[in-house]
Chain A
């Protein structure tokens, strides 16, 4: 079945550091890929998405590129802020199955210190 693997956390960075959170996937079809973020005390929010190979999703300074050849969708940000501290979830939706049910990774906690 479909699965998503993302790097274990927590990831601890200083403000303005470069961020990479690795995500790889396994899917039987041709999935859409997502990054969701959960800030403390809040629900999941869609951060960015990509629906086909080589697409780059971007939002709030974060970006991720859909790499079909490496089945990856790594999240990057050039300069993190304290307010980026949150849990980040990589997810896929295998639309070939006919529905948009999401398959998630375990989540990666990001802690940014001033």
Chain B
């Protein structure tokens, strides 16, 4: 069974440009999470989908970030316009079952560099 996949693995863009990150969760996993690690800091929660619905987006830094999960399958995270402080590694994770089942499976991450 395929694990969580993310695309691209690395993106370098200029300040002001737009970037879209994609996450494909493990098939059948209803829960999908986005996290971000800024260099040297903690991995921080961004948002949580249950199927196609946003369950919790309290970690989204501002309205330049837009996440979608059409049809409850893959998810995209768009940053528009990108700022220097958006640089970091964006991780996606998925888990099955109800929200109280905590084991999450992570993708390899997308390294975003904004210059």
Residues of A with Cβ closer than 8 Å to B?
4, 32, 34, 36, 41-46, 49, 89, 91, 93, 95, 98-107
Contacts and interface: CB of A to CB of B under 8 A. Distances in A.
Contacts of B103: 46, 49
A100 B107 CA distance: 17
Contacts of B31: 100
A101 B44 CA distance: 10
B54 to A, nearest CB: 12
A100 B100 CA distance: 5
Number of chain B interface residues as a range? 20 to 34
A95 B106 contact: no
Residue of A43, A46, A93 most packed against chain B (CB within 10 A): A43
A41 B108 contact: yes
Interface of B: 3-4, 31, 33, 35, 37, 40-45, 48, 55-56, 91, 93, 95, 99-109
A98 B108 CA distance: 27
Given A43-B4, A89-B43, A107-B43, A102 B91 contact: no
Contacts of A106: 40-42
A95 B102 contact: yes
Given A43-B91, A49-B103, A102 B41 contact: no
A95 B102 CA distance: 8
Main secondary structure of the interface of A (DSSP, over half): strand
A95 B107 contact: no
B15 to A, nearest CB: 26
Nearest to B97: A100
A103 B45 contact: yes
Contacts of B3: 43
A32 B102 contact: yes
Contacts of A98: 99-100
A103 B55 CA distance: 17
Contacts of B41: 106
A95 B100 contact: yes
9 contacts: A46-B104, A101-B33, A102-B45, A102-B104, A103-B45, A104-B35, A106-B40, A106-B42, A107-B43
